[in-house]
Structure 1
Amino acid sequence: MNERAETLQRWVARQHDLPLGDCRLEQVAGDASFRHYYRLHLPDGTPRVLMDAPPERENSRAFVDIARDWRAASLPVPALHAVDLAAGFVELEDLGDDVMHQHLTTEAAADTWFTRALDLLEHVQRQAPSAALPAYDRDLLGRELDLFPDWCLSRLLEIPAPPEWPALREALIDSALAQPRVAVHRDFDAMNLMVRDDTLWLIDFQDAVRGPLSYDLVSLLRGRYRLWSRERMDTFIETFHRRAVADGRLPADSDIATFTRQVEAMGIQRSLKVLGIFCRLALRDAKPRYLARLPHFLAHLRHGLEAVPEHAAFLAWVETTLTPALQRALEHHGIARTREESAS
Structure 2
Amino acid sequence: MTDTRTTARVEALRQWIAPQHGLPPSQARLELAAGDASFRRYFRLWLADGRTRIIMDAPPDKENSQPFVAIADDWRRAGLPVPALYAMDLDLGFIELEDLGDAALHLCFEAGDCEAAATQGCYERALTLLDALQNRAPCESLPPYDDALLGRELDLFPQWCLEKLLAIAPPPCWQASRARLIEIALDQPRVAVHRDFDAMNLMRRDDELWLIDFQDAVCGPLSYDLISLLRGRYCRFSRARYTAWVDAFRQRAIADGRLPTVTDAEAFLFMSDAMAAQRAIKVLGIFCRLTLRDGKQGYLERMPHFLAHLRDSLEAWPEFAELLGWLDAVFSPALDAELIRRGIRGVSP
Say yes or no: TM over 0.5: yes
User: Which residue number corresponds to residue 297 of structure 1?
Assistant: 306
Please provide the CA RMSD for this pair.
1.0
Whole-angstrom CA distance in 1 between matches of 2:203 and 2:132: 16
TM value normalised by structure 2: 0.96
User: Which residue number corresponds to residue 251 of structure 1?
Assistant: 260
User: Which residue number corresponds to residue 94 of structure 1?
Assistant: 99
User: Which residue number corresponds to residue 339 of structure 2?
Assistant: 330
Of 230, 233, 240 in structure 1, the residue corresponding to residue 239 of structure 2 is 230
TM value normalised by structure 1: 0.97
User: Which residue number corresponds to residue 279 of structure 1?
Assistant: 288
Per the alignment, in what secondary structure is the counterpart of residue 289 of structure 1?
coil
Whole-angstrom CA distance in 1 between matches of 2:26 and 2:172: 62
Q: Does residue 185 of structure 1 match 2:180?
A: no
User: Which residue number corresponds to residue 153 of structure 2?
Assistant: 144
Of 131, 134, 139 in structure 2, the residue corresponding to residue 130 of structure 1 is 139
Q: Does residue 103 of structure 1 match 2:108?
A: yes
Q: Does residue 17 of structure 1 match 2:22?
A: yes
User: Which residue number corresponds to residue 220 of structure 1?
Assistant: 229
**Residue identity in the other structure for 1:92:** L
Per the alignment, in what secondary structure is the counterpart of residue 288 of structure 1?
coil
Unmatched runs of 5 consecutive residues or more in structure 2: 1-5
**Residue identity in the other structure for 1:308:** W
Unmatched runs of 5 consecutive residues or more in structure 1: none
The percent of aligned pairs where both chains have the same amino acid is 59
Is the 1:22–1:43 contact (alpha carbons within 8 Å) kept by the matching residues of 2? Answer: no
User: Which residue number corresponds to residue 77 of structure 2?
Assistant: 72
**Residue identity in the other structure for 1:221:** L
Of 30, 35, 38 in structure 2, the residue corresponding to residue 33 of structure 1 is 38
Is the 1:186–1:208 contact (alpha carbons within 8 Å) kept by the matching residues of 2? Answer: yes
Is the 2:337–2:346 contact (alpha carbons within 8 Å) kept by the matching residues of 1? Answer: no
Of 175, 180, 183 in structure 2, the residue corresponding to residue 174 of structure 1 is 183
Deviation at 1:144? 0.3
Deviation at 1:194? 0.6
Per the alignment, in what secondary structure is the counterpart of residue 270 of structure 2?
helix
Of 124, 146, 166 in structure 2, the residue corresponding to residue 115 of structure 1 is 124
User: Which residue number corresponds to residue 85 of structure 1?
Assistant: 90
Whole-angstrom CA distance in 2 between matches of 1:12 and 1:104: 36
Whole-angstrom CA distance in 2 between matches of 1:278 and 1:56: 22
Deviation at 1:21? 3.1
Is the 1:54–1:88 contact (alpha carbons within 8 Å) kept by the matching residues of 2? Answer: yes
Q: Does residue 196 of structure 1 match 2:189?
A: no
Per the alignment, in what secondary structure is the counterpart of residue 210 of structure 2?
strand
Whole-angstrom CA distance in 2 between matches of 1:316 and 1:104: 34
Is the 1:272–1:301 contact (alpha carbons within 8 Å) kept by the matching residues of 2? Answer: yes
Whole-angstrom CA distance in 1 between matches of 2:316 and 2:183: 17
Number of corresponding residues: 340
Whole-angstrom CA distance in 1 between matches of 2:165 and 2:344: 14
Whole-angstrom CA distance in 2 between matches of 1:336 and 1:255: 40
Per the alignment, in what secondary structure is the counterpart of residue 76 of structure 1?
coil
- After the TM superposition, which of the residue ranges 299-308 and 178-187 deviates more from structure 2? 299-308
Deviation at 1:254? 1.1
Is the 2:280–2:310 contact (alpha carbons within 8 Å) kept by the matching residues of 1? Answer: yes
Per the alignment, in what secondary structure is the counterpart of residue 112 of structure 1?
helix
